Chains A and B, each alone.
Chain A
Amino acid sequence: MTTLEFKNVTKKYRVRGSGELLALDKVNFTLTSGQTIALVGQSGSGKSTIAKILTQLERVSSGEVLLDGTPIPTWGRPLRRYRQTVRMVFQDPFASLNPAHTIRHHIERPLRLDRVVPSDQVEEEVFRLLTRVRLSPEQTIDRRPHELSGGQRQRVAIARALASRPALLIADEPVSMLDVSIRLEVLNLLAELQREANLGVLYITHDLATARHFSDEIMVLHHGTVVEHGTADEVILHPKHEYTLALRNASPDPEKHFASPTTTPGANS
C-alpha cells in the first residue's frame, strides 16, 4: 500500500512588481492506493499547482509532500523511482504525445527506462497495455499520434502512464478536451483500471458531476485553500461550505430542473 501526503503545503509565486501570489495555502490531504479523490476547482483555484508539485515541476514554498512517510526526492535514482510510482495523465491529448514518434515508442520508452520487464518481453507488454486500454495493438502500434483521434490518443497516454506499474495516478482534466460522447468511456476505463490495479487516483477537474460519480472523496479548492473535503455524496448533496453550495447550484442539473413542477421551460433553476 502506497500513501502520498500533502502536509500543510503552501506555494507562493513572486509576481513582478506587485509582490506575491499565494497559489496554495496550507493544503492537506492523503491519497492511498485503492482510493480515488477528486480535486475540484475552477481556474485559479490552485489545482494545476498541485499537479505541478506532484510531478516535481514546482517546489513547495513550505510544508511537505511525503511518499510513504519520506519527503519526495528531488534528484537521482530516488526521483526516478518516485516518478515510476506516481504517474500523470495530462489534459491535452494533442500536446502530451510526441508527434514525431510512433505509439510503440511512446509505450516502450517507460518500459525500457524503468526496466519493468526484461527486454525480450517488452513487445509483448506493449501489446498487453494497448489491449488493456481497449485499443487494437495491430492497428495502432506503428501509427503516429496525428493519425489517431483524441480519444485514442488519451488512451495511449493512459497506457503510457500505466506502463511503469505505478501505485498512484494523477489525472489532470483527462477528458475535458475530448469530444463529449467519448468522455464517459474514457472515464469508465480509468475507473476500471483503477479497480483492477488498485491504483490511487487523484482526479483533477472543474466538473462536479463526473467528480461525484468517479471518486470516493471530493476536495473543493478555492483560491488555494481546501474549503471542503468529504465523501462524494456528502459534498455534493449536503455541502457544508457556501462556496461548494454555490458551485453546486451553478452547475447545470437537468434532473433537478425538470423534476421541479414549477419549472417553466427556458427559465433558470
Chain B
Amino acid sequence: MTPHDLLTVSNFSVSYDVTPPVEAVRDVSLTVRRGEILGLAGESGCGKTTLAYGIQRLLKPPAVITSGSAVFHDESGEDIDINTMDDSQMRAFRWEKASMVFQGAMNALNPIINIGAQLQDVFSTHRPAMTRAERKLESGRLLDLVGVGSERLRSYPHELSGGMRQRVMIAMALALKPQLMIMDEPTTALDVLVQREILEQISDLREEFGFSVIFITHDLPLLLEISDRIAVMREGRIVEIDSARNLYRNPQNDYTRRLLASFPSLTGERGGFVRGTAETAPTTDATDAGGAF
C-alpha cells in the first residue's frame, strides 16, 4: 500500500447463498489509486456489479461476502476497513467518502419526490448543520454544475430526459465531494452523443475535484478512451489488469483478446469482422462449437 492508493481490495469473495451456491466474485484483489479512473470491464454476469456493491456493503440477501477485505485509505491518513464498521459508521461513510452512480436512472430515482428533495436529503443527513436555505442553494449549485440547471429543482424524475436523469444521479453522487465515485453502466441506455457529453462532464469534474472513479461497463472501447487502467472480469475473477494503452496494444489474456475483437474498429480495419462479400474471416479466437452458446 502506497500513499497513492485510495482503496485496497484483497481476496474479496461474494457468493449467493442459494442451492447450489453461486460464486459471483472469486478472490478479487485490486487497488484504486488516488485520482485515477479504473475501468472494470466484463459481460453480464461476470460479477462486476456484485463487486461494486460488495465493497460498499450494499449487497442484499442471499448475497454474502464470504471472504476478503476492502480497505479505504482516507485522505486524513486513517485506514477504514469497510467490513468492520457497524451500521451507523457505515451510514456515515456512505456517500461521504465513496458514492455510487447507479445504472438506469429511471428506477434509481424516487418517482414521487422531486429531484431537489432527493438532493437535499443527502445534506440533511450528512450535514445537519446546514440550514434549509443553504441546502437548497447547494442543491441548485450541484444541478448547475452538471448542466441540468437549478431551475429544475422542483421537477420530478419522469419529467426529465434520460440524459438529464443520469446527470442528476451524478450531481447527487458528487454532493459531499467524495474521494471515490463508483459508476455502474452510467451511460449505457443513452444516445452516443449524450454519452460523450456526460463522459466529458465526468472528466472535467474529476479534474476539478480530484476524486477517483471506478467505471463499470461492458463497453470496452469506451473504457479504453477514458480509463487510466482497466481490469477485465470474467466469471467472478479478474483475468487481466493493466493500463488502458497496454491492454489495447498488448493484451495478455485470451479472454481479453476476444473481448477486444468483439468491437470492430470504427475508422480502422475490419479485424475479425466478415463483410457481405466473398471473404472469409481470419481464424477467430472463439471456439464455435455448435450450440455451445
Contact = CB atoms under 8 A, between A and B. Distances in A.
B200 A206 contact: no
Contact of A214 (B199, B255, B267, B275): B275
A194 B43 contact: no
A152 B273 CA distance: 20
Interface string B210-248: 000000001111101111100000000000000111001
Contact of A42 (B36, B193, B224, B226): B193
A205 to B, nearest CB: 11
Q: What is the size category of the interface that chain A forms with chain B?
A: 35 or more
A205 B267 CA distance: 17
B267 A253 contact: yes
Nearest to A265: B228
Contacts of A255: 265-268
Contact of A139 (B221, B270, B277, B291): B291
Nearest to A35: B276
Contact of B293 (A139, A152, A191, A249): A152
Contact of A258 (B192, B249, B291): B249
Nearest to A194: B276
A181 interface: yes
B284 interface: yes
Contacts of A187: 273
Contact of B191 (A42, A131, A151, A188): A42
Contact of A180 (B37, B248, B262, B284): B262
Nearest to B218: A180
A192 B274 contact: yes
Contacts of B258: 181
Contacts of A265: 227-228, 243-245
Interface string A226-269: 00000000001100000000111111111111100000011111
Given A183-B262, A266-B228, A140 B291 contact: yes
Interface in A111-165: 131, 134-136, 139-140, 149, 151-152
A237 B267 contact: yes
A236 B266 contact: yes
A66 B255 CA distance: 46
Contacts of A194: 276
B196 interface: yes
Nearest to B192: A250
A53 interface: no
Contact of A181 (B262, B264, B267): B262
A266 B227 CA distance: 5
Contacts of A134: 288, 290-291
A208 B193 CA distance: 12
B286 A252 contact: no
A210 interface: yes
A168 to B, nearest CB: 14
A32 to B, nearest CB: 13
Interface string A15-45: 0000000000000000000001000001100
A268 B267 contact: no
A191 B274 contact: yes
A180 B259 contact: yes
Given A210-B264, A213-B273, A268-B203, A252 B222 contact: yes
Contacts of A253: 221, 225, 265-267
A227 B243 CA distance: 39
Contacts of B284: 184-185
Provide the main secondary structure of the chain A interface: helix
Nearest to B255: A181
Contact of B276 (A151, A209, A215, A268): A215
A78 B138 CA distance: 65
B3 to A, nearest CB: 20
B13 to A, nearest CB: 23
B277 A195 contact: yes
Contacts of A269: 225
Contacts of A191: 274-276
B288 A185 contact: yes
Interface in A21-78: 36, 42-43
Contacts of B288: 134, 185
Interface of A: 36, 42-43, 131, 134-136, 139-140, 149, 151-152, 179-185, 187-188, 191-192, 194-195, 201, 206, 208-210, 212-216, 236-237, 246-258, 265-269
24 contacts: A131-B290, A134-B291, A139-B291, A149-B293, A179-B43, A179-B44, A184-B261, A188-B272, A195-B278, A206-B192, A209-B265, A214-B276, A215-B276, A248-B267, A250-B196, A252-B219, A254-B221, A254-B224, A255-B265, A255-B266, A255-B268, A258-B224, A268-B225, A269-B225
Given A181-B262, A195-B276, A253-B267, 17 more contacts: A149-B293, A187-B273, A188-B274, A195-B278, A208-B266, A210-B273, A212-B266, A248-B266, A249-B196, A251-B192, A251-B266, A252-B219, A254-B225, A254-B265, A257-B225, A258-B248, A265-B227
